[in-house]
Structure 1
Amino acid sequence: MGLVISQSIKNTLTTYLGFGIGAINVLFLFTNFISDTYFGLITFMLSTANIMMPLMAFGTNNTIIKFYSIFKTRQSQNSFLTLMLFLPLVVIIPVGFIGHVAFDTISTWLAQKNPIIKDYVWLIYFSAITFAYFEVFYAWSRVQFQSVLGNFMKEVFHRLCTTILLFALYFEFINVEELIYGIVGIYFLRMLIMAIYAFSLRQPIIKFKKFKSLVKVLKYTSLIIVAGSVANLILEIDKFMLGYYVDIEKVAYYGVAIYIASVIGVPLRSLHQIISPVTAKLLNERNKVELKSLYQKSSLNLFIISGFIFLLIILNINELYLLIPEKFSGGLLIVILIGVAKVGDNLLGNNNAILFNSDYYRMVLLLGVFLVIITVVLNMIFIPLFGINGSAMATFIAILIYNIAKILFVKYAFNMMPFTIATLKTLSLIVVCVVIFYFWEFQFHPIINIGLKSILVCVFYGYMVYAFKFSDDISLIINKLLKRS
């Protein structure tokens, strides 16, 4: 776990820096500098582009991670990477042609509830392309075991640039339409920078030559589109469907609550950047002993960390809502439901990496399609009944079912479970902290209250984890920090 822990810590710090900047944007700048309608429009656009991204990438970002380590010669690697560079065009070009021909039909359908969407539909397509090729170039660098700069571009760069654009809007250097085009331009620039960095690590040598395992690679990349689409659909379909069923400004209210809860997913996002190629390597080497160890360690460490973040959010959520405009503060149930779902994602450890990089990915794809159908149906039922809270309920149920199914499948296929006795101890600690601290309020300014309660939770939670040795990896990190101090 040495390389994994080292780069994961760097990635986690970088990701939280990005989320901190993003929190300022979402909770304070967007909510005060632009109208709810345009905030909802931007949220809808980017969520829809994220839904399209796996299709536009044609699964090549996952394929690079899975197969790169099996090619041992420079010639075979060059041929493989050349295919990965050009394969997304197989989808991008036809989709663009269909979109051009049927633009009026598509845009009218998307804008039924909110006509403002119609003028920006083509930006969704363009954004999806930049998202897709960014992931391709990021995977290119990750297989060289260099994920830190890419993680910075993925988590920090676009949020920092968006902050600059929002202040430019506030000081009237640009208008809101230019802000929207500027945000899309940021993602395009991010893709270009990532390409330059990836190519500096491994210069592309264009080789259109058949290589061993070509059929296997093409079959995988074609099917893995579904897997990537499933993951993105479950995460983003709620905001897309809200844009179809409710007024666009309510998408903004929902987006704020979702962003707060999404902070809990940062440890998994950070770990995944480096652990996915490591998992693929262990699978290719059929090293089941190390794979099981990695599975259980990643699950436990992520559960401890994400559980702590969950506590900081849930225990301070009422004070946090006092700091933002009141109209955005009705998302407590959304934060709780999505927060629990995010902790569940972390509890699975490198489960996704095991499934997507193994020979069992076909069954996972079938399961994923079934769960997407459930997600869509639940949203169609719950949104008209409960509004934005209904969408959170649908997402929570879908993620819960999906995660349980993935745990059971890995148990069946590899005879491994991610849980240990320490998992139960961590769960008990989280419950105890909620019982002790949730109703403990200070009578000061909300920022001071958040700071005081966070310190108390941090000391209590950290002491319990360290004193009772929940995790050797986390204890080792704490020991290093104590020695430095």
Structure 2
Amino acid sequence: MGIVLKQSFTNTLILFLGFAIGGINVLFLYTHFLHEDYFGLITFLLSTANIILPLLVFGMQHSIIKFYSSYKTKIEQDGFLISTLILPLVVIIPLALIGVFFYQSIASWLSSENILIKDYTYLIFIVAIFMGYFEVFYSWTKVQFNSVFGNFIKEIFTRICTSFLLLAVYFNWISNEQFIYAVVAVYGLRTLIMKLYAMYIYMPKLVFKLPANLKEIFSFSIYIIIAGSASGILLEIDKFMIPQMEKIAEVAYYSVGIYIASVVAIPTRAMQQITNPITAKEMNSNNILIVEKLYKQSSINLLVVGGLLFLLINLNITELYEIINKPQYTRGIWIVLIISIAKIMDLALGTGNAILVNSKYYKIFFYLSLTMALSVIVLNRWLISLIGINGAALATLIVVLVYGVIKILFIKSKLSIQPFSRNSVKVLVVIMAIYFVINFWNFSLNPILSIFIKGVLITSVYLVIIKRLNISEDLNKLFSKYF
């Protein structure tokens, strides 16, 4: 776990910094500087682009992780990497032509409830291409076990640029409309920087030779395209469907709640940057014992760190919304709790998704992702109409819990490994106990002072209990080193 902990720790710091900058953007700059309709619009555009991203790049970002380590010679590796840049064009060019011919119909359908969307519909396709090729080049660096710079560009660079653009709106240097186009330009610049860095880390020779296992790559990519799109649907479909059923400003309120809750998932995102390529390598070598060790360690470590974030967020959520000082945004306060519970389930999975994708059973990931996507669409349609934006969050929670359990049981049945131990139960009990005890405390102080006092109290109590219970060997080493 040495390289995992080292890069995961660095990536976690980057993600925290990125989320801090993003938090300033989402909770204060967006809410106070940008009209809420345009806040909802940019969220809708980016979310929709994320949904179609896997299709446009033909799943190449995942194929690189899975297959790169299986090639033994540099010529094979270089030919494979060059192919990952060319194959997406097989999808992008035809879809671009279809989009040109049917643009008005597509734009009218997407803007049926909110006419503001119509003039910006084409930006979805452009942003999706930028996002897709960014992920492809990022995967180039991941398989070289170099994930930190890409994580920095992805998490911090984009958000800093957005901060400057929001300030530009505030000072009337650009309009709300120009802000939308400027954000798209930032995503384009981000991709260019990632391309240059990927080629600096590893410059493949121009080998125009299709990989010998092209059929296998195509088969995997097709499954991953659908599975990736389905996963994108699970993450983003709520922000896509809300404007089809509610005012577009509701997306802004929903996005604030989602953003706050997503802080719980920071440890997962940090660790996945390095555990995914390592899991792929060990699965290709059939080192199941190492895969199992990584599976268990990642699960317990993520649960411990994510559990602390869950408590800090949900036990201070009322005070946080007081600081935001935008009463209409409190409509998303329950979304924070609902989604952060879903994130806890994701943490418990550890490297489970990476194991599924990189095993010979990867097709089950396709079927699970597809049924998850269909389930969340049906539940969203029903629950949004029933209880509004809280229904979208509840739909996500139900799907994540049900299919998370199914994934764990499937891996257990096929590979005879599972991520849990008695310590997993102990962590969950500690999280619930602290939540229910402190949730009833109201300090009636200034919200910033209240957050500080609660934060110190929660962190101290939680870390002392986790240390005394000897929950995680890896984290105990960190405690011993720094405290």
Q: TM-score range by the shorter chain?
A: over 0.9
Contact preservation (8 Å) 2:242, 2:389:
yes
Q: Name the CA distance, whole Å, in 2 between partners of 1:119 and 1:210.
A: 40
Counterpart mapping for 1:174-323 below 5 A = 174-323=174-323
Quote the residue 1:64 is aligned against.
64
Counterpart mapping for 1:84-95 below 5 A = 84-95=84-95
Q: How far apart are 1:398 and its partner, in Å? A: 1.3
Q: Name the CA distance, whole Å, in 1 between partners of 2:158 and 2:43.
A: 14
Contact preservation (8 Å) 2:83, 2:210:
no
Query: Is 1:460 matched up with 2:458?
Result: no
Quote the residue 2:379 is aligned against.
378
Quote the residue 1:20 is aligned against.
20
Quote the residue 2:159 is aligned against.
159
Q: How far apart are 1:459 and its partner, in Å? A: 0.5
Q: Name the CA distance, whole Å, in 2 between partners of 1:94 and 1:420.
A: 50
SS at match of 2:121: helix
Q: How far apart are 1:432 and its partner, in Å? A: 1.0
Quote the residue 1:476 is aligned against.
477
Amino acid at match of 1:328: Y
Contact preservation (8 Å) 2:161, 2:186:
yes
SS at match of 1:323: helix
Counterpart mapping for 1:334-373 below 5 A = 334-373=335-374
Q: How far apart are 1:370 and its partner, in Å? A: 1.5
Q: State the Cα deviation string for residues 444-475 of structure 1 (Å, max 9, x = none).
A: 21011001100001100011111221000001
Q: Name the CA distance, whole Å, in 1 between partners of 2:432 and 2:372.
A: 29
Counterpart mapping for 1:413-452 below 5 A = 413-452=414-453
Q: Name the CA distance, whole Å, in 2 between partners of 1:311 and 1:131.
A: 32
TM-score by length of 1: 0.98
Q: Name the CA distance, whole Å, in 1 between partners of 2:89 and 2:192.
A: 17
Q: How far apart are 1:441 and its partner, in Å? A: 2.1
Contact preservation (8 Å) 2:264, 2:310:
yes
Q: Name the CA distance, whole Å, in 1 between partners of 2:423 and 2:154.
A: 32
Q: How far apart are 1:231 and its partner, in Å? A: 1.5
Amino acid at match of 1:277: P
Q: How far apart are 1:344 and its partner, in Å? A: 0.5
Q: Name the CA distance, whole Å, in 1 between partners of 2:266 and 2:116.
A: 32
SS at match of 2:418: coil
Q: Name the CA distance, whole Å, in 2 between partners of 1:436 and 1:231.
A: 36
Q: Name the CA distance, whole Å, in 2 between partners of 1:104 and 1:53.
A: 21
Query: Is 1:136 matched up with 2:136?
Result: yes
Amino acid at match of 1:193: I
Contact preservation (8 Å) 2:35, 2:176:
no
Query: Is 1:390 matched up with 2:386?
Result: no
Q: Name the CA distance, whole Å, in 2 between partners of 1:43 and 1:422.
A: 39
Q: Name the CA distance, whole Å, in 2 between partners of 1:146 and 1:371.
A: 32
Q: Name the CA distance, whole Å, in 2 between partners of 1:227 and 1:144.
A: 25
Q: Name the CA distance, whole Å, in 2 between partners of 1:210 and 1:154.
A: 30
SS at match of 1:167: helix
Q: How far apart are 1:331 and its partner, in Å? A: 1.6
Give identity over the alignment, percent: 46
Q: How far apart are 1:212 and its partner, in Å? A: 2.8
Q: Name the CA distance, whole Å, in 2 between partners of 1:160 and 1:451.
A: 26
Q: How far apart are 1:214 and its partner, in Å? A: 2.1
Amino acid at match of 2:134: F
Q: State the Cα deviation string for residues 79-123 of structure 1 (Å, max 9, x = none).
A: 111111111111111111111100000000000000000000011
Counterpart mapping for 1:315-334 below 5 A = 315-324=315-324, 325-334=326-335
Amino acid at match of 1:226: I
Q: Name the CA distance, whole Å, in 1 between partners of 2:413 and 2:227.
A: 19
Q: How far apart are 1:416 and its partner, in Å? A: 0.9
SS at match of 1:196: helix
Q: How far apart are 1:218 and its partner, in Å? A: 1.8
TM-score by length of 2: 0.99
Amino acid at match of 1:452: I
Q: How far apart are 1:227 and its partner, in Å? A: 1.7
Amino acid at match of 1:440: W
Amino acid at match of 2:311: L
Contact preservation (8 Å) 2:54, 2:228:
yes
Q: How far apart are 1:154 and its partner, in Å? A: 1.1
Amino acid at match of 2:156: V
Q: How far apart are 1:304 and its partner, in Å? A: 0.6
Q: How far apart are 1:479 and its partner, in Å? A: 1.0
Q: Name the CA distance, whole Å, in 1 between partners of 2:210 and 2:391.
A: 50
Q: How far apart are 1:210 and its partner, in Å? A: 3.4
Amino acid at match of 1:141: T
RMSD across aligned positions (CA)? 0.9
Q: Name the CA distance, whole Å, in 2 between partners of 1:211 and 1:14.
A: 35
Quote the residue 2:170 is aligned against.
170
Structure 2 residue runs without a partner (length 5+) = none
Amino acid at match of 2:162: T
Q: State the Cα deviation string for residues 231-280 of structure 1 (Å, max 9, x = none).
A: 11100000100011110001100111011111111110111110000000
Q: How far apart are 1:364 and its partner, in Å? A: 1.9
Q: Name the CA distance, whole Å, in 1 between partners of 2:125 and 2:75.
A: 34
Question: 111-120 or 322-331: which moved more?
Answer: 322-331
Q: Name the CA distance, whole Å, in 2 between partners of 1:11 and 1:283.
A: 24
Contact preservation (8 Å) 2:245, 2:385:
yes
Amino acid at match of 1:254: Y
Question: 222-231 or 350-359: which moved more?
Answer: 222-231
Amino acid at match of 1:353: A
Q: State the Cα deviation string for residues 268-326 of structure 1 (Å, max 9, x = none).
A: 01111100000001101111111111100000000111111000011000111111111
Amino acid at match of 2:451: I
SS at match of 1:330: helix
Quote the residue 1:112 is aligned against.
112
Structure 1 residue runs without a partner (length 5+) = none
Q: 1:211–1:36: structure 2 CA closer, same or farther, 3 Å change rule?
A: closer
Q: How far apart are 1:443 and its partner, in Å? A: 2.6
Q: 1:210–1:168: structure 2 CA closer, same or farther, 3 Å change rule?
A: closer
Moved over 4 A (4+): none
